[in-house]
Chains A and B, each alone.
Chain A
Amino acid sequence: GAVVSQHPSRVICKSGTSVKIECRSLDFQATTMFWYRQFPKKSLMLMATSNEGSKATYEQGVEKDKFLINHASLTLSTLTVTSAHPEDSSFYICSATPGQAYNEQFFGPGTRLTVL
């Protein structure tokens, strides 16, 4: 099956620093990747849709200058949380789909971000 990796799995940083999270599709090309945020015991909140070679599409209420997304290749998308604050602490999960048709999504293992 398709595998998506995410790195790092866990990060603790000081308030004001920036954190980059990588999402890679290991055995398929992902035209589209999605970035989610999940609070404890809550559902997945879609943050943005990342398309290879173009700007990401952000969901309403998500600050694009705060959460920078770059989809540089068909196998890599990155999410950078800039000037992180404690309220940014959360579980960030990426997913990838092989095509633009609505196919199943393959999720990365997630990144637990803790901002002190």
Chain B
Amino acid sequence: GQQVMQIPQYQHVQEGEDFTTYCNSSTTLSNIQWYKQRPGGHPVFLIQLVKSGEVKKQKRLTFQFGEAKKNSSLHITATQTTDVGTYFCAHASGGSYIPTFGRGTSLIVHP
């Protein structure tokens, strides 16, 4: 599948600070999914976005899909130590159901 660039690779924050990770593509995406992987664990599905400009919230997490459907972001407000982990975006395009994952952003929250 086509590549998606995910930035940053690592992010250190103090507990209580906000955090954002970005997923960018050079071509239009049919959908975008976000997963969280805790240290030593496996990826867990968080959300799927399919509509242009879509915004979804889950408590302190806000997910956005760009108007052009070429980028997406995950924003965490007031991080907590339980937010620690790696956040991956993923998509399938061109009619394929085979997923392509971004490289992930590892979030480290300092108490």
Contact = CB atoms under 8 A, between A and B. Distances in A.
Interface of A: 32, 34, 41-44, 46, 49, 93, 95, 97, 100-102, 104-110
A104 B97 contact: no
A110 B42 contact: yes
Contacts of B99: 34, 46, 102, 105
B97 A43 contact: no
Contacts, number: 48
Interface in B31-63: 31, 33, 35, 41-45, 48
A104 B98 contact: no
Contacts of A105: 33, 35, 43, 45, 90, 99
15 contacts: A34-B98, A44-B101, A46-B98, A46-B101, A93-B42, A93-B43, A95-B43, A97-B97, A105-B43, A105-B90, A105-B99, A107-B35, A107-B44, A110-B41, A110-B42
Contact of A102 (B44, B92, B104): B92
Interface of B: 30-31, 33, 35, 41-45, 48, 88, 90, 92, 97-104, 106
B35 to A, nearest CB: 8
Nearest to B44: A107
Given A34-B99, A102-B99, A43 B104 contact: yes
